[in-house]
Structure 1
Amino acid sequence: MRDIILLLIIMGSLPFILKRPFIGVLMWCWIAYMVPHRLAWGFMQYFPVASIVGGTFLLAYLFSKEPKKLPFAMPVVFMVLLNVWMIITFSANVQDSHTIMMLDKVLKIQLFTLVILAMFTTKQRIEAALWVVGLSIAFYGLKGGIYTIQTGGSGRVWGPTGGFFYGNNELALTLLVNLPILYYLRTRVPPKYPWLKWLILAAMALSVLAALGTQSRGGLVACVCVAAFLWLKSPHKIALLLVFCLSVPVIYQFMPDTWHQRMATIIEPDRDSYDGSVQGRFNAWEMSYNMAKENVFGGGFNGFKPANFLLYAPNPNRVDGAHSIYFQMIGHHGFIGLALFLGIFIFTWFSANNIIKMAGKDPNWQWASLLARMLQCSLIAFGSGGAFLGLAYFDLPYHLAITIIAVEQLLKKHHAAIAAEKKAARNSANVVQGAFTK
């Protein structure tokens, strides 16, 4: 029954997508972040949902009157350059079925990201997408938080199979990146829906519990970082500080001894004291660094293969994944790839600061200021937690970047319109003054 209902929803959305392509954006976000077909039990688990919705959406977009032009912004420039560089590094290294699949997957994500940016032309569209993204991820926060309570924190929480955040570490990071988004969405709930505010608040609390319930050490680091920046960027610092002071001791005591023992290994007195998992990461990070020094193109999408460990790793017999967005980019695309990757988010941060500055104290644009500050918190969560996870190609941080870019473009248009009105008023005044002078 679940499969049939899901199939009807997916297929039933296609005519609406053809008529209004932006519905395709919302459907794509829902599929990307909730991965609903993986919650089914039958044929829908492996049904090509993303291909059907994505293909229909692109077809509708191409033949629609929707804008086809991207805004000129530095994060977009770096995004395009990164894609070009990834194609170059792919061509410069050995190609196989895995690297071809990875290039296809990554370029599709980037293409849809840029198309969505072109369609983010209004505040309503930006917020509609945020609602879909935020609530889709919050579903796993609610689910995982309840499971953590049921098991007393001893059961490890996992994400949806087939998604970017199936692993416990990846799920923890995703939930924490989503936390500031939920904070913003809660402020956008109309007063006549108080139940929705409480639901989002519950989702936020349970998402934190779920993130801790993953027993991810990187997740705890990201949790501390996002909490600190959420407090710094929040307009309600005293209330938030009170919440932290009351909840942190309770949560800390609630988690079992196994969790405390694992978290205690985050900081060790020396490198040799770390466990095998961390030692494997150190080995992979050194391998990627050594390889990038020898090869400007990195190792391509298959950079962390055994042959490269034999050549560049301190321990050639210990083969591991990147376990870091930074070393993943270095290992796959060299130092140039890392620079382009960082450039996207550094300039996105500057754009967020620009939004805050341009919005000022204008009451009509306080939503933009708050959103920029919250998405900065999300970027902090991604940047800190991502230091221990190979999620460099995950859709979500790029979606945050294009959201900030779109809001900045709206504010620039608003200020340009005000400047044009003032100029027209001055010209009119000069004409009138000239007439009286004559």
Structure 2
Amino acid sequence: MRDIVLFLFIAIVLAMGFKRPFLWVLLYIYVDIVSPQLIGWGFIRSLHLSLVAFIAAFVGYVLLDSKEGSRFTITQAIMAALLVWCGYTTIGAAFQEFAWAKWDWVWKSIFFAAFLPLTLRTRLRLEAALVVFVLSIGANAITGGIKTVFGGGGYGQLVLLVQMDSGLYEGSIMSTAAIATIPLIFFLARRGTIFPSHWTVWTFAVALIAACMLIPIGTGARTGLVCIAVFFVLLLRQVKYRFLMAGLGGVLFFAALPFLPAEYTQRMETIAGFRSDESASTRLEVWRWTVDYAKANPTGGGFDAYRGNSFTYEIPEIEGEGNNRRITYREVTDQARAYHSSYFEVLGEQGWLGLFLWLSLQGLGLYQMERIRRREGPKRADRDIAMFDMATALQHAQIIFLVGALFVGIAFQSFVFILLAFQAALWSQWRRLRHGFKLSPAAQKLADARREAMA
């Protein structure tokens, strides 16, 4: 039954796309994030839904959709350069079989992200894509949040829509994505026009935010706790009474402590004592190995180059309590350990040039959003408040991702590149608004009407 419902939904959207080709773009975002072919149990698993949606989105734009307002940005150019470089390093990868397996999904993530801004040529389309993006991640967040409330969580135990441990279905990755999505939820609840601000919209938004906040607890991911802290710091940037909000946040934190699972609080305590935690110590050793590897191999080792690492180190172990404590050191030998950091992931796999391109994408996105924020800030009489809030939401989502990426290897995950694509689309629209790129009379009339409605 589940397979039939999923198949019918996708088939209906595909059929509707012949009249509105942009729906195929939204369909691909949904399929890429949720992976409905993995949710079913029967025939739907044999269908290549991601490939079908990908081809439909691209061909639909090329053959059926209007190109008015579409512009190629510098962000897309850097994405294209990164894609070419990743292809080059894959050809000479140290572990060919694993490298080509990762390339199979990485190239689609980067290519679609470079293509996506061309289709998001109006504010309505960008908002629609944001809605689908948020609800797609929310599908996992709601499932995980409900299971966490009813005691179904635990490190490595929380099962989301699909029982697997990769992509968005991996605990640390999902925790980072869930918290990074919260600023976008706030924006859609406050400034959305597809679902205008209303008490029903805010009720769902608050519930979805709560579900996202529960994901780090349900997964036991330490990265999620760090992302929550970053989110609250960024929230202080937006509110008027910062000290009051900071105080309320502290009260809520301590009030919630008694209700947190003991397993979760114990795992969070290892953040402070990371030197005696084998998992954290292993990460530090992997990072040292990666830097040395990049020095010896400036172009990187291709995807999954970490499989070649091997190292031995000592971790301290404390025995006894108080004055009777005794510290001993245990030798640990490990090999083929993942990077557990997006920055070292890119460095080890794509070398220094790949890291430069990847960091350029991130830095450019932060700069462009800040540029929009400053131009559309409160001191401007002719400000576009909706554009200001969208730029703020996208920038905050990216900052949360960048902090979470310090501890999780998610450099090439599709949701990251989709965020960058949203930023490129917003930048293009803002440039058109402020620098004289003309729309057709009908499109300009619609844009003016929407701007007046948001004022």
**8 A Cα contact 1:325 1:391, kept in partner:** yes
SS in 2 for 1:297: coil
1:418, 1:166 → 2: CA distance? 41
What stretches of structure 2 of length at least 5 have no aligned partner?
A: 314-331, 440-455
1:202, 1:369 → 2: CA distance? 25
SS in 2 for 1:380: helix
2:70, 2:293 → 1: CA distance? 35
What is the aligned partner in structure 2 of residue 426 from structure 1? none
**What are the residue-to-residue correspondences of 1:296-311 with 2, within 5 Å?**
296-305=298-307, 308-310=308-310
1:2, 1:13 → 2: CA distance? 17
What is the aligned partner in structure 2 of residue 217 from structure 1? 222
Deviations 1:44-84 (A, max 9, x none): 24432111222222222221243399745443332222112
User: For structure 1, which segment, 331-340 or 189-198, has the greater mean C-alpha deviation from structure 2 after superposition?
Assistant: 189-198
**What are the residue-to-residue correspondences of 1:128-207 with 2, within 5 Å?**
128-151=128-151, 156-161=157-162, 164-189=167-192, 193-207=198-212
The structure-2 alpha-carbon separation of the partners of 1:152 and 1:396, relative to structure 1 and needing over 3 Å to count, comes to closer
**8 A Cα contact 2:222 2:267, kept in partner:** yes
- Normalized per residue, the structure richer in strand is 2
**8 A Cα contact 2:304 2:349, kept in partner:** yes
Alpha-carbon offset, residue 235 of structure 1? 6.1
What is the aligned partner in structure 1 of residue 288 from structure 2? 286
2:240, 2:47 → 1: CA distance? 45
- Normalized per residue, the structure richer in helix is 1
Alpha-carbon offset, residue 10 of structure 1? 1.4
SS in 1 for 2:339: coil
Instruction: Please tell me whether residue 344 in structure 1 is matched to residue 361 in structure 2.
Output: yes
Deviations 1:103-128 (A, max 9, x none): 23211111111221111100000000
What is the aligned partner in structure 2 of residue 253 from structure 1? 258
> Aligned partner of 1:218: which letter?
T
What is the aligned partner in structure 1 of residue 48 from structure 2? 48
CA RMSD of aligned residues (A): 2.7
The structure-2 alpha-carbon separation of the partners of 1:373 and 1:266, relative to structure 1 and needing over 3 Å to count, comes to same
What is the aligned partner in structure 2 of residue 22 from structure 1? 22
1:330 equivalent among 347, 355, 361: 347
1:240, 1:34 → 2: CA distance? 34
The structure-2 alpha-carbon separation of the partners of 1:180 and 1:55, relative to structure 1 and needing over 3 Å to count, comes to same
What is the aligned partner in structure 2 of residue 386 from structure 1? 405
The structure-2 alpha-carbon separation of the partners of 1:32 and 1:152, relative to structure 1 and needing over 3 Å to count, comes to closer
What stretches of structure 1 of length at least 5 have no aligned partner?
A: 421-438
2:177, 2:46 → 1: CA distance? 23
TM-score normalized by the length of structure 1: 0.86
Alpha-carbon offset, residue 94 of structure 1? 4.1
> Aligned partner of 2:415: which letter?
L
2:45, 2:251 → 1: CA distance? 42
**8 A Cα contact 1:159 1:168, kept in partner:** no
**8 A Cα contact 1:169 1:218, kept in partner:** yes
> Percentage identity across aligned positions?
25
TM-score normalized by the length of structure 2: 0.83
1:202, 1:237 → 2: CA distance? 24
Alpha-carbon offset, residue 17 of structure 1? 2.4
Alpha-carbon offset, residue 153 of structure 1? 6.2
The structure-2 alpha-carbon separation of the partners of 1:70 and 1:324, relative to structure 1 and needing over 3 Å to count, comes to farther
**8 A Cα contact 1:323 1:389, kept in partner:** yes
User: For structure 1, which segment, 91-100 or 213-222, has the greater mean C-alpha deviation from structure 2 after superposition?
Assistant: 91-100
> Aligned partner of 1:209: which letter?
L
Deviations 1:226-249 (A, max 9, x none): 221122135675785465244322
